[in-house]
Chains A and B, each alone.
Chain A
Amino acid sequence: MYAFEIERPTTLQDAVAAIAGGGQALSGGQTLIPTLKARLADPGKLVSLHGVAELKGVCTDDDGRICIGAATTHATVARELAGSYPGLASLAARIGDPAVRNRGTIGGSLANNDPSACYPAGALASGATIVTNTREIAADDYFHGMFATALEEDEIITEVKFPVPRAAAYEKFIQPASRFPLVAVFVAKFDDGVRVAITGASETGVFRWTEAEAALSSDFSAGALDGLRVDPDHMIADLHGDKAYRAHLCAVMTKRAVTAAA
């Protein structure tokens, strides 16, 4: 790692100020720290969000949305949402491994937007709202492709608000080395329609499979997806699977998620 300082603010205001002063946010660090070890980043100053109490925890707002503080760990989400949003809790419970889940946070995951991360699928399929220190961003406007998001320089996620669907499920097919999704699908059924988000598969990061959404919105069953195919063109091809395989898995995992949710 290159040398850097760590600041440890205890309030959001101080954290935002420190970041505006040239620091990079450090949330759980479960992706950032390995990146630093490989000397792929030279941040100069890290601002640890670990001590900012107002960024942690889960609550429900007046619209019935579940609000998760950006620095809330996956383990906490898995535990606290088990009753209120089991689909999302199950996603959180399967990220990485137990130690990673005790440090990694929802805000860190969404800010990084790894094309194979779990949370982007949950946020996009749920139609979540990403709240930052300056504004609210709809999930549909937030994900801009691999490792790219709508976040501006110095903007940090403070909270993520999830509308709770009628039914939801997350089906993950793991890449056996990293244990990240090779392809994973989050299906969320709302009164006004179904949303399907897929991670791990596409070169452009998490995406909504709109054809599947249309089919499922009129018939929420795995059978409704028969014959639907994801275009393999923009799929990721690597050691672990080619484009055709990933495209195939998109359909299989979507069907399984629908079955699990129904």
Chain B
Amino acid sequence: MRVTMDVNGRSVSGEVEGRTLLVDFLREGLHLTGTHVGCDTSQCGACTVHVDGLLVKACTMFAAEAEGAAVTTIEGIAAPDGTLSVVQQAFQDHHGLQCGFCTPGMVMAATALLKDNPKPSEAEIRHHLDGNICRCTGYHNIVKAIMAASGQEMPALAAE
């Protein structure tokens, strides 16, 4: 079947099967390979994107269900001139990534959080990241980056 959706501000359409996941449509159909697949039980969050402004796991939604939707992927987060978003820049400034594989999902999750909750507490950030697994950073610098992106003072323990 044919699906049409808006991806990162551009209208796209393509042929998909019923079983084509949104993440496969993005990666294979549109070559937007920034959205990653890290598990098959909907837990790791490496595939996290925004669908109509909401955080969604692109591996747990069919492309057909995104018909008419506005999808934002990691490729659509920086400014058109390449300037990193506040969240992206904070991740670099605070070393919130190492291997980079979970990073697109983390940035999408953090961006969605700050839209709903501009000054989240440390506990709120950690709770919000329940669906995003990182194996490299121990989360320290991810949480720190999100606090920094929200313009908050760092707790003393996070200073190092």
Q: Does A touch B (CB under 8 Å) in the complex?
A: yes
Give chain A's interface residues, CB within 8 Å of chain B: 1-6, 8, 26, 29-30, 33-34, 36-38, 45-46, 48, 50, 75, 96-100, 102-103, 178-179
A and B contact pairs by CB, cutoff 8 A, 25 listed = A3-B17, A4-B18, A5-B18, A6-B1, A6-B64, A8-B65, A8-B67, A29-B60, A29-B65, A30-B42, A30-B60, A33-B59, A34-B41, A46-B18, A46-B62, A48-B65, A50-B65, A75-B54, A96-B130, A98-B112, A98-B128, A98-B131, A100-B57, A100-B60, A103-B57
Q: Assess whether A8 is in contact with B64, with CB atoms less than 8 Å apart.
A: yes
Q: Does B109 contact A (CB under 8 A)?
A: yes
Q: What 4 new A-B contacts, CB under 8 Å, besides A29-B61, A99-B60, A102-B55?
A: A96-B130, A98-B131, A100-B42, A100-B60
In the complex, per-residue mask of B126-150: 1 if CB is within 8 Å of any chain A CB, else 0: 0010111000000000000000000
Residue of B nearest to A45 (CB): B18
| CB closest chain-B residue, reference A38 | B40
Contacts of A50 in B (CB 8 A): 65
Give the one of B48, B57, B67, B132 with max A CB within 10 A. Answer: B57
Contact between A98 and B60, CB atoms less than 8 A apart: no
Size category of the B interface is 20 to 34
Is B19 in contact with A1, judged by CB distance below 8 angstroms? yes
Query: Cβ of B19 and Cβ of A3 under 8 Å apart?
Result: yes
Q: How far is the CA of A38 from the CA of B19 in the complex (A)?
A: 13
Q: How far is the CB of A7 from chain B (nearest CB, A)?
A: 9
For residue A109, give the distance in angstroms from its CB to the closest CB of chain B.
14
Whether the Cβ atoms of B60 and A48 lie closer than 8 Å is no
Interface residues of B in 1-43 (CB under 8 A from A): 1, 17-19, 21, 40-43
Q: A2-B19, A3-B17 are in contact. Are A97 and B61 (CB under 8 A)?
A: no
Whether B54 and A102, one on each chain, are in contact in the complex, defined by CB atoms closer than 8 angstroms, is yes
* B1 vs chain A, min Cβ distance (A): 7
Residues of chain B contacted by A4 (CB below 8 angstroms): 18-19
A48: chain B residues within 8 A (beta carbon): 62, 64-65
